[in-house]
Amino acid sequence: MGISKLNEKEYYRKIYGGWLGKNIGGTLGYPVEGRMELLDLTYYPQLSEGPLPNDDLDLQIVWLHALEQYGARLTATELGQEWMEHVFFPFDEYGYGLANLRRGLIPPVAGWFNNPFADCMGSPIRSEIWAMIAPGCPGVAAYYAYQDAIVDHAGGEGVYGEMFFAAIESAAFFESDRDQLIQIGLTYIPDESRTAKAVNALLEWHKEGRTWTEARELILEHHGHPNFTDAPQNIAFTLLGWLYGEDFGDAILKAVNCGYDTDCTAATLGAILGIILGPENLPERWLKPVGDRIAVNAPIKGFPIPQTLDELTTRTLTIGKEVAAVWNIPIEFGQEKSTTELQPELLEFYDPRWLWTYSFQSNRYLLPKGTKNNIGLELIIDYGNQGPSIGKGQSKDIAVTLINRSTEAWEGLLRLTVPEGWSGLTEEKLDLKPNQEISWTLQVTANGEMKAYYPLQLEVVRNHDNHFWNSETVPFYLVSASHWKLNGPENNGWQEAIIPGNRIDFADVLQTSDAGLYRASTTLYNPEAKQIRLITATASPVKAYLNGKLIINDDNETDCMPAFHRAIPSKLVEIKLPAGEHLLEIEVMKGEEPLELYVLPVAVKNTKTPGPYYYYTDVLFT
């Protein structure tokens, strides 16, 4: 196998250029984020002392810390642990992912379950760190991007968007041709994904000679979404700036002037161009206002944050060398001149596309515990379409699979421990030959006590010579479902429903989608008095009553925005909620459009710690 060479100064230069371009683009786009009209910026709309803080860079600094803590073999599990410790953003998918992690769930289930924002831009904006620690090795960069994205985007377009950008940026350490880089990125996402379709459509429109504004309108017509953070349209806007831009400044301006998630589009394009060009080739006009500084949002905390781009670059480079050594990537760092083009040995070194086949409804564990290479026992826990939720008194099937990847037989028992008062399988005999797998369907039944989450445990007991030898335990969690009574426009009586998450699906429960008045009723349990933001996220007119008192009254059609921090103000209320049980009744008037309703109890903006608008996992719908 041939060895590619990467000059250490050149490696530093390209990493620094990428981080600098990221800072420039984020500072340009942040002040106009969320504006959905065609813009006409010609320069930074807001200047301060240095760059503006932005989650695009914030989260990658957390991932750098994770790499320094856990090393090159880290997975989504370790990234989830880092998120709980150091990231307190409530934004969209971030808020839902964090709520799931806090209840004991792990990725990918934590990133999929009850998450209406899995198709959004929160993960594609975190791609650069993986490219920089795997320079010229797009498959490895895309693998890390997948591990990252499933923390809060599992099952959605956000996963493909991050894999796409990470592959492009990794290849850009050796390859500068724009069209070739885009094609490299496309090889790491499914052709049938919305992201691939939007990118390929844009390439065709550009080839046809459409103007950039015409291309923007076509993107919105064929691939647009009312949520400004939806990934496929914004990824296309990022590439639009690259395809139509005459130089660095013109490219990031065109991306921003498309509107929508502008800090993300400009920051990612700025990073790509910064890697390709290096910092010395970025215009002074754009460089001077941001300088070498780093600005980080307050909810990112609890570890040593780099103070300058130089420090960030040096620490990134150090990890990159470790990654190359651990993966045995055919790349050599030194003082010699870098290889001048991307070698097939690097391009074909690793293919992460097998990850597309993994179910986001299940979690995988490698045994013995702590191992990273799948050469022992592989345990798969599949929660099914309803996810890891269970209602009081409800029975739930959990599919468990054990695969013996080792060269030795595993004999013994599989044991399941459930919460006190529950029923479920106690043990099954285990006899697994090498390369054999066995599956069970474990049914558990909850008692009548509701909690935010429920700890369970699988124990794999291993015997030798018909005697106990050792055991491996795998804790996992179920979370509390919501109990509601629902009524539809035909008023055929109330139907009881157990709802897996926060979305009430009237059509599924009542088997009707007729226009008219829909009603939902539950007992809301609050363990201690607190200030609460109660959100009834729906596009339809809605009323909500708490203990018979009208607390929300909105007769208007609006967007349906089930975000903790940016819900429609007329469809929420902030109140001091006493401890105890409260009758919550909701009325929604459905028109011709499909009916969506999310009921969300979250914190208010001003909290003591750790941050605003986080989800109250202890508030239950009983």
Would you list the domain boundaries of the chain? 4-354, 361-478, 482-621
Beta bridge partners of 438: 402
Q: Is the CB of residue 516 less than 8 Å from the CB of residue 489?
A: yes
What average pLDDT does the segment 338-364 reach?
A: 94
Cα separation, 401 vs 551, whole angstroms: 48
Cα–Cα nearest to 443, from 476, 416, 403, 407: 416
CA 406 to chain centre: 32
- The model's confidence at residue 11, banded by pLDDT at 50, 70 and 90, is very high
For residue 472, what pLDDT is reported? Answer: 94
Which string of b and e fits 221-245 if b means at least 16 CB within 10 Å?
Answer: eebbbebbbbbbbbbbbbbbbbbbb
Angstrom distance (rounded) from CA 25 to CA 263:
7
Largest CA distance in the chain: 79
Annotated binding-site members: 261, 263
Is the CB of residue 463 less than 8 Å from the CB of residue 564? no
Which residues, other chains included, contact 61 with Cβ-Cβ below 8 Å and sequence gap of 6+?
Answer: 294, 296, 300, 305, 306, 312
pLDDT attached to residue 608:
85
Thinking of the domain 482-621, which architecture would CATH place it in? Answer: Sandwich (2.60)
Tell me the pairing of strands 467-480 and 437-445. Answer: unpaired
Mind listing the pLDDT tens digit for each residue in 238-254?
999 999 999 999 999 99
Tell me the pLDDT of the chain averaged across its residues. Answer: 96
What is the predicted pLDDT for the residue at 597? 98
What is the number of other CB atoms lying within 10 angstroms of the CB of residue 461?
18
Q: Would you call 572 helix, strand, or coil by DSSP? A: strand
pLDDT (mean) for 451-456: 96
**Which pair of structure tokens corresponds to residue 619?**
């508030």
What pLDDT score does 490 carry? Answer: 85
pLDDT at 1: 55
The answer on pLDDT for 207 being more than 80 is yes
Spell out the residues 6+ positions from residue 482 whose beta carbon is closer than 8 angstroms to its own: 391, 498, 499, 500, 501, 502, 522, 599, 620, 621
**What average pLDDT score do residues 544-548 get?**
98
Q: What is the mean pLDDT of residues 449-453?
A: 95
Average pLDDT of span 441-451? 95
Mean pLDDT across 495-518: 96
- CATH architecture of the domain 361-478 equals Sandwich (2.60)
Backbone conformation region of residue 77, classed left if phi is above 0, alpha if psi is from -120 to 50, else beta: alpha
Tens digits of residue pLDDT in 285-298: 999 999 999 999 98
CATH class of the region 4-354: mainly alpha
Minimal CA–CA distance to 476: which of 154, 107, 96, 78? 107
Task: Give the residue-averaged pLDDT of 429-454.
Answer: 95
| Mean predicted confidence (pLDDT) in 7-13 | 97
pLDDT at 453 over 90: yes
The values of phi and psi at residue 36, to 5°, are -110, 10
> Percent of the chain scored above 90 by pLDDT?
93
Q: Which two tokens stand for residue 247?
A: 């130089």
pLDDT tens-digit series, residues 556-599: 999 999 999 999 999 999 999 999 999 999 999 999 999 999 99
Say whether pLDDT at 66 is over 80. Answer: yes
What three-state secondary structure class fits 316? helix
State how far the Cα of 359 lies from the Cα of 585, in Å rounded to an integer. Answer: 36
Residue 427: its pLDDT value, please?
87
Q: Is the pLDDT of residue 609 over 90?
A: no
Which tokens belong to 333? 């760092």
Which of the pair, 369 or 540, is modelled with greater confidence?
A: 540
Buried b / exposed e over 86-124, threshold 16 CB at 10 Å, is bbbbbbbbbbbbbbbbbbbbbbbbbbbbbbbbbbbbbbb
DSSP 370-416: T--SSSSEEEEEE--TT-SEE-TT-EEEEEEEEEE-SSS-EEEEEEE
Question: Which residues contribute to the annotated binding site for Mg(2+)?
Answer: 261, 263
In 228-365, which residue ranges form alpha helices assigned H by DSSP?
231-244, 248-257, 262-277, 284-287, 309-327, 344-347
Q: Is the pLDDT of residue 525 over 60?
A: yes
What integer is the mean pLDDT of 118-125? 98
Q: pLDDT band at residue 2, thresholds of 50, 70 and 90? A: confident
